[in-house]
Structure 1
């Protein structure tokens, strides 16, 4: 190992691990890594012997009394590094199940030291006999992430990552305790002025990836819930708009413009407040209300114009008018989400 990798820590979240985590720690120590943190994420008494052995080997073992999730384990490790004030320049996170090779941990670490304003991702190549669970999960998550974030990442679910020390304080404050935390890190990278860099690593699967604790249904829900909440907020605004349009039309029949404008003003403000307070809520945004209002309504004007233009375009290409409307609404839904997250409420 080169001396430079001694400036990095290695963080291993572990939940009910087997002997492979000891093998990993042994190889890391042999390579000369001096700061190896292993977070016991509520594995229980049955696994105490493994963590005791890790501590005796020289690893720093941190323990959660109950299982809190991979995201919480990572934040526990980062917080420990901050609290102790260690002079490390970054940390490489690696899984405890043997999927990450020491040579690849070093590869990610070197890339991080060369690009310290970046988050380095160990990119797996999904080819050949890849377990369906991993191939499908990564493909779906990658597609949604790339569309929503505007960034093209090939492997959003990799657990092998290099995180710069300059970002530790921000990373421990991000929401998410389980696998969704790793997605949140990627989504927040641009706000933290960090670029996403991928380096190719060897893809290793053991027992058809059965050791992975990723739950496709439960953890996908956690990852995508912001999109679903955003859709619910839009539906709420639609309901308010429709109700007020009906009410004003009944109270003042014949004054169509008042019904349209009044209903849209109120419903859009409801949508703005829900998005700001619930969906894109961030610490320290209280003083940015006017900035958010201006950005939101500027986007609303753009969406209105784009809606009209796209419907004209699609219908001009021969699509049924209602199909053109449906396609336009779906496209602009994702555009609106992405712009609000990355620019309006950043």
Structure 2
């Protein structure tokens, strides 16, 4: 099992971590110097002399890029490792927990293992706020319940290295992208409890709870924005057609959905679920999307009839129906249509 440590302007704690890893028998320790500069060269030189493999970025590229550099190095060298455990350089991850995550990965090789911190007691506001914001948005959009989306202690299986180096994101948003792409890669997300360590009120962390959380949940909210755009088009056309042809419910539902679904398809394909090499899969995406659209259309009509039959205002019935079907649409598109 390899250990990968992305490091930006680290202090002596990274030396301590490497020493303890070597003492425990780890022999493949990669440290990525993410553009720390000449002032920190002595630390990385010492790590190399200790036996760590040190990779260097000439300028700071972000944690995501550093992780991808390490994964690409493992791929290029073709090492027979079962996976890699990523750990932070700021002393927050204990060697015993690195081992715990590594063992869990060996037991569940089709998984991404997350070292789950318990946020209780005197937790620095920076960590509590950042994790709460990101966790809430991630769980809302993904439909997966993860307690610690920001943990840097992760076990990544070797079978996924080639896919993980191709994921978008160079900074902290990369770690959220890994979680979002897990299902597409047929990987389950597994959490194991680890000890929560904070040093100097987490001041060593380069994660900005609000700026970097925005980078993260901006990605998660894109699908919601796309759906909201389509909802606006759909609702306007539904209103217009129902006014022009009152009493013809099917025409309002079908006409509005034909236009709004095409808008939604193009935005989702080009922006939300965009992937390399998808150009040749246009027909597959169209078939999958509109098969889903037919189902959503039937459900839309049926639910509106149901709710309006129960006495709800027609437009309120329409709004409630759209909210319910939003979750169904996202899940199916992510897992099946644009996979």
TM range (shorter): 0.7 to 0.9
1:287-306 paired onto structure 2 within 5 Å: 287-306=280-299
| The 10-residue stretch of structure 1 (294-303 or 254-263) with the greater mean CA deviation from structure 2 | 254-263
Residue 204 of structure 2 is aligned to residue 216 of structure 1? no
The 3 A distance-change label for structure 1 pair 201 and 318 is farther
Partner deviation per Cα, 1:44-83 (whole Å, 9 max, x = no partner): 1221111111111111111111111111100000001111
Counterparts of 1:111 and 1:258, CA distance in 2:
55
Counterparts of 1:254 and 1:333, CA distance in 2:
26
The 3 A distance-change label for structure 1 pair 123 and 314 is farther
Partner deviation per Cα, 1:192-242 (whole Å, 9 max, x = no partner): 121222111111111111111112222222222234332333344456557
1:148 Cα deviation (Å)? 2.5
2:164–2:178 contact (8 Å) kept in structure 1? yes
1:147–1:334 contact (8 Å) kept in structure 2? no
1:9–1:91 contact (8 Å) kept in structure 2? yes
The 3 A distance-change label for structure 1 pair 322 and 239 is closer
1:251 Cα deviation (Å)? 12
1:30 Cα deviation (Å)? 1.2
1:340 Cα deviation (Å)? 1.4
1:127 Cα deviation (Å)? 1.6
Partner deviation per Cα, 1:137-186 (whole Å, 9 max, x = no partner): 22232233233323222211111111111111111011111111111111
TM-score normalized with structure 1 length = 0.85
The 3 A distance-change label for structure 1 pair 69 and 334 is farther
TM-score normalized with structure 2 length = 0.87
Counterparts of 1:316 and 1:127, CA distance in 2:
48
The 3 A distance-change label for structure 1 pair 235 and 142 is closer
The 3 A distance-change label for structure 1 pair 49 and 232 is same
1:148–1:335 contact (8 Å) kept in structure 2? no
Partner deviation per Cα, 1:264-297 (whole Å, 9 max, x = no partner): 4233212212211221012233343333223322
Counterparts of 2:287 and 2:16, CA distance in 1:
55
The 3 A distance-change label for structure 1 pair 200 and 316 is farther
Counterparts of 1:315 and 1:269, CA distance in 2:
27
Counterparts of 1:329 and 1:254, CA distance in 2:
20
Gaps of at least 5 residues in structure 2 are none
1:104–1:202 contact (8 Å) kept in structure 2? yes
Counterparts of 1:159 and 1:97, CA distance in 2:
11
| The 10-residue stretch of structure 1 (304-313 or 20-29) with the greater mean CA deviation from structure 2 | 304-313
1:87 Cα deviation (Å)? 1.7
Length, aligned pairs only: 339
1:298 Cα deviation (Å)? 3.2
The 3 A distance-change label for structure 1 pair 157 and 321 is farther
Equivalent position SS for 1:33: coil
| The 10-residue stretch of structure 1 (273-282 or 130-139) with the greater mean CA deviation from structure 2 | 130-139
Gaps of at least 5 residues in structure 1 are 1-7
Partner deviation per Cα, 1:111-130 (whole Å, 9 max, x = no partner): 11222221111111122111
| The 10-residue stretch of structure 1 (176-185 or 127-136) with the greater mean CA deviation from structure 2 | 127-136
Counterparts of 1:255 and 1:197, CA distance in 2:
50
1:313 Cα deviation (Å)? 7.2
Counterparts of 1:305 and 1:262, CA distance in 2:
13
Partner deviation per Cα, 1:290-344 (whole Å, 9 max, x = no partner): 3322332233344345456666777899988766655554443344223211222
Equivalent position SS for 1:216: coil
User: Match of 1:136?
Assistant: 129
2:138–2:217 contact (8 Å) kept in structure 1? no
2:130–2:210 contact (8 Å) kept in structure 1? no
1:9–1:92 contact (8 Å) kept in structure 2? yes
2:138–2:220 contact (8 Å) kept in structure 1? no
2:127–2:209 contact (8 Å) kept in structure 1? no
User: Match of 2:36?
Assistant: 43
